[in-house]
Structure 1
Amino acid sequence: MPVSTSPADLYRHSLRLLLDKDIPGWVGLWAEDGVMEFPFAPHGWPKRLEGREAIAAYMRPYPDHIDLHDFPDLRIHQTTDPETIVVEMRGVGRLVETDSPFDMAYIAVVAVRHGRIISYRDYWNPLAVLEPGTDFVGSGR
């Protein structure tokens, strides 16, 4: 992606890469020292990943667990900081192991510098993965 890419355009591109299961391409959007945080991560799950390599290791098996089909309801909000956006969206698809539906609501705060993601705080619902027999519906439906 060119350095002049806006944070919103870079984020939209990142979603296309996830739908294409192009994890190396997705990781390539990150700054070398980027930080990914999960403020609501349950016990035993990572709360903070520091550096592109740690993020790559975390994301590498993602397509083996979740087969994403779409990101409906995408809303990208600009902030007073031109390098930071707030994103609301849903990720829908299926869980590979059980072939059950996946539908999770997300809110993310994403900061970009020089065309690379430097910070991504992912506010997802940990209760959806802790409840036995869940269908990962995180959209309140």
Structure 2
Amino acid sequence: MSAPTSPADLYRHSLRLLLDKDISAWVALWAEDGLMEFPFAPEGWPRRLEGKEAIADYMRHYPDHIDLHDFPDLRIHRTTDPQTIVAEMRGTGRLVESGAPLDMTYIAVVNVRDGHITSYRDYWNPLAVQEPGTDFTGSSR
């Protein structure tokens, strides 16, 4: 089955893949020249990932460190650009290493072209899941 192509449907599909811990399928939703940005990243964390390969490297171990259970309260807003959406949501689950609960609010600005994510600005607070010496994927900094 091919992925949905409307920005809202593609985004919902991407969230399902994260919940299923299917990172390779999630990365496959990205354009080769995709750009992922973290405007609130603290010092020493990546603020910008350029290209599908860099995004894949960053996300590869995500399920080993964050166990997502749900994205309640999802609201997707259309913009004047039909290929751009703004998503508001909560992510709930747990941090794998410590077992601590995760309940975080996110806002994302997502652009889609030809059925692939071309840019994703993730406005979340990485400090809410920070454990000493790790980034949000659990990789050593």
Give the TM-score taking structure 1 as reference length: 0.89
CA contact (8 A) 2:102 2:129 kept: no
CA contact (8 A) 2:95 2:129 kept: no
State the match for 1:117 in structure 2. 117
* Aligned pairs for 1:13-28 within 5 A: 13-28=13-28
- The gaps in structure 1 that reach 5 residues or longer are 133-141
Q: CA deviation at 1:131?
A: 8.1
Q: Deviations over 1:39-67 (max 9, x none)?
A: 00001110000000000000001000000
Aligned partners of 2:68 and 2:102: how far apart in 1? 8
User: RMSD across aligned C-alpha pairs, in angstroms?
Assistant: 1.4
Give the TM-score taking structure 2 as reference length: 0.89
CA spacing shift, 1:117–1:91, aligned 2, 3 Å? same
Aligned partners of 1:131 and 1:32: how far apart in 2? 31
State the match for 1:108 in structure 2. 108
State the match for 1:10 in structure 2. 10
The percentage of counterpart residues that share the same residue type is: 80
CA spacing shift, 1:78–1:130, aligned 2, 3 Å? same
* Aligned pairs for 1:3-82 within 5 A: 5-82=5-82
Aligned partners of 1:25 and 1:56: how far apart in 2? 10
Aligned partners of 2:103 and 2:25: how far apart in 1? 24
Aligned partners of 2:131 and 2:22: how far apart in 1? 29
Aligned partners of 2:40 and 2:29: how far apart in 1? 24
Q: CA deviation at 1:130?
A: 4.9
State the match for 2:135 in structure 1. none
Aligned partners of 2:16 and 2:114: how far apart in 1? 20
SS in 1 for 2:5: coil
Q: CA deviation at 1:5?
A: 1.6
- The gaps in structure 2 that reach 5 residues or longer are 133-141
Aligned partners of 2:19 and 2:96: how far apart in 1? 14
Aligned partners of 1:32 and 1:130: how far apart in 2? 29
